[in-house]
Structure 1
Amino acid sequence: MYRNLLRVFLSSGTSLTKRSVTTVSVSREIVPVDLSYNTYDNISSPTFGSPVLILHGLFGSKFNWNSLSKAFHLKTKPTRKIYSIDARNHGESPHTDAHSYEHMVADMIELHKKLNTEKVSLIGHSMGGRTAMLLALKYPHLIDRVVIVDISPTTGLGSSNTNIPLFLQSMKLIQIPASHSIHEARKIADQQLAKIIEIKSLRDFLITNLVKSEEDGSFRWRINLDTLERDYEPGVAKFPDVGGARFEGPTLFIAGGRSDYIDKSDYPVIKKLFPNSEVKVIEGAGHWVHSEKSTEFANLVLSFLNES
């Protein structure tokens, strides 16, 4: 069925003008990249707690966390600097031909050196949550405390992830002429994606990654579709084997009540790897807990961060 849908999708006519993006050609060895990030530190404070680094999920960007980043900076006690980060192959960070949790952790270590700070706290959603977990497990001396949003360290993923390769293929097939405005282009993209993806909110989220070049008016995706499609199964869908590693620091898992990304059967694994952890469930929220129930989410995170 999906193949037939893709054939229909491909036959829709016009072409998406291609534009070169910052691409780092690397081998499969771990070569870190210089990540793009936004900093929230407007409040003048004589003392700061450990800075908080926010890691978005697959298809996301640092801009998705703008409102929450401002709130966290305003309401943490002591005040904390907040860094909202674009993962490699996303947003304004470099595109590479490799994507895995090991690569993303190497990127974060490089960023940690750049920020020149002793310890950081982490908030990670979905793919970003698994990056945060692996970072804490491999480099516990660098991490103060961790918030993991609707993802677990088990091998699987929630049921809504089963079609992600199809989503990536579909986005690659979107065809838009450069003569259109960004508003028109996103409307066309929505119409084409609707042939494959029924959920409007999901289409809207994916389309936030469609941008128009100021240089030549062409359209491009801010995410590296080719690399993510190729590396999704081995690099994103599966959490790496961490052996006997443990993170003893305070850890909060926040699950959406309507989501199956954290199942009760995952709790023993969570406790084994993160013995000083607890799981909180926000009822009525799906996988995007932080946007669907932002007030409840922010209250949980601030209470946890302000414990220290």
Structure 2
Amino acid sequence: MLFKKLYTKSLFRICPKILSISSLRYATAPSSYAETVDLAYSSYESTEDETSVRPPVVILHGLLGSKNNWNSMSKAIHKSTGRKVISIDARNHGDSKHSSQHTYLHMAQDVIKLLKKLEISKVSLLGHSMGGRTAMVLSLLSSDLVSSLIVVDISPAKTSPQIFSMVNLFDAMAAVSLRSGIAMSKARKLADEQLKAVIPDINLRNFLITNLIQTNTGSYSWRVNIPALKENFQQNIASFPSSLKGLQYCGPTLFIGGSLSDYIGKNDLPEIQEYFPLAQLQFVDGAGHWVHSQKPEKFLEIACSFLKDK
């Protein structure tokens, strides 16, 4: 058995959009509360795409990641589904603009701005971790833009205790000191040695080091905005915004979790369905939080099967 049971329940009712006073404020006037930034993105398409009839797939990465982490998976999803795939760098990540503000409302509005710029009226959203919560918020605030939703190993219902150790990663990255002018290979090795004292997991260190860049002057820095992420982490990143209670996205929704991860559990489904009434929940055996990189074939199979139908 390569993946676990699908958790869902039938809902034979019209899905209302119930608005509390606080959620109404966000839903009706988000632009007045969120200053947007321009986002970098990569597009995967061909002349044989079905984009004229099927919405593109928009991929949103997790905290301290980038669109580059999804390069192979983006190509595979495009090849399997025939749909255009757009992989986006979140604000304060990758090649996107930096900002002192970093909330899910801001990130959702950034994506909406990009879709408007690209003249795209409907998309399928696929988001992992922080990107999954961004996708959820966007779906709740602008459901007309979203034809279907895939959320990877994150939940609006709870937060993994592990997530609070992220502050240690910010501090460890900020403490790395590298001299100017050395080769990138040398810089990566030195950064790894300095991170090792705090982060024993070599896979996690390798993931973080993908953010190391060399400037035009030969000095080294992190392309993620560590000060802004650390400042916003506790209040704005670590948990799902409670102000959105009462809103619902009623389109096709799939939550994919890793069986070894505690970021999402089968008991979360009832609370998930308060926001996403049609949500299904599927677990991939042997996968942790990074389901798509730890079990790429199973993840691709599950995600593309859903995208082909939805």
TM range (shorter): 0.7 to 0.9
1:89 and 2:92 aligned: yes
Paired with 1:107 and 1:193, the residues of 2 have a C-alpha distance of: 32
Runs of 4+ aligned structure 1 residues displaced above 2 Å come to 42-48
Quick check: 1:48–1:81 contact (8 Å CA) kept in 2? no
Q: In structure 1, what is the equivalent of residue 236 of structure 2?
A: 235
- CA drift at 1:263: 1.8
- CA drift at 1:29: 4.7
Q: In structure 2, what is the equivalent of residue 6 of structure 1?
A: none
SS of 1:204's equivalent in the other structure is helix
Q: In structure 2, what is the equivalent of residue 11 of structure 1?
A: none
Paired with 2:236 and 2:219, the residues of 1 have a C-alpha distance of: 30
Output the amino acid matched with 2:97. Answer: P
Quick check: 1:252–1:279 contact (8 Å CA) kept in 2? yes
SS of 1:137's equivalent in the other structure is helix
Paired with 1:179 and 1:60, the residues of 2 have a C-alpha distance of: 25
Q: In structure 2, what is the equivalent of residue 291 of structure 1?
A: 293
1:208 and 2:210 aligned: yes
TM-score scaled by length of structure 2? 0.87
Bigger shift: 45-54 or 32-41?
A: 45-54
Q: In structure 2, what is the equivalent of residue 35 of structure 1?
A: 39
- CA drift at 1:48: 4.2
Q: In structure 2, what is the equivalent of residue 49 of structure 1?
A: 54
Q: In structure 2, what is the equivalent of residue 161 of structure 1?
A: 163
- CA drift at 1:108: 1.0
Give unpaired runs (5+ residues) of structure 1: 1-27
SS of 2:112's equivalent in the other structure is helix
- For 1:188-267, what aligned pairs fall within 5 Å after superposition? 188-213=190-215, 215-241=216-242, 242-267=244-269
Q: CA RMSD of the aligned region, Å? A: 1.3
Paired with 1:43 and 1:174, the residues of 2 have a C-alpha distance of: 45
* Greater relative contact order (CA < 8 Å, ≥ 6 in sequence): 2
Paired with 1:43 and 1:168, the residues of 2 have a C-alpha distance of: 42
Corresponding pairs, count: 277
Deviations 1:12-51 (A, max 9, x none): xxxxxxxxxxxxxxxx951101100000012434644101
Paired with 2:288 and 2:225, the residues of 1 have a C-alpha distance of: 26
Give unpaired runs (5+ residues) of structure 2: 1-31
Q: In structure 2, what is the equivalent of residue 174 of structure 1?
A: 176
Paired with 1:279 and 1:265, the residues of 2 have a C-alpha distance of: 10
Q: In structure 2, what is the equivalent of residue 271 of structure 1?
A: 273
Q: In structure 2, what is the equivalent of residue 20 of structure 1?
A: none
- For 1:23-172, what aligned pairs fall within 5 Å after superposition? 29-45=33-49, 47-76=52-81, 79-154=82-157, 156-172=158-174
TM-score scaled by length of structure 1? 0.87
Bigger shift: 187-196 or 156-165?
A: 156-165
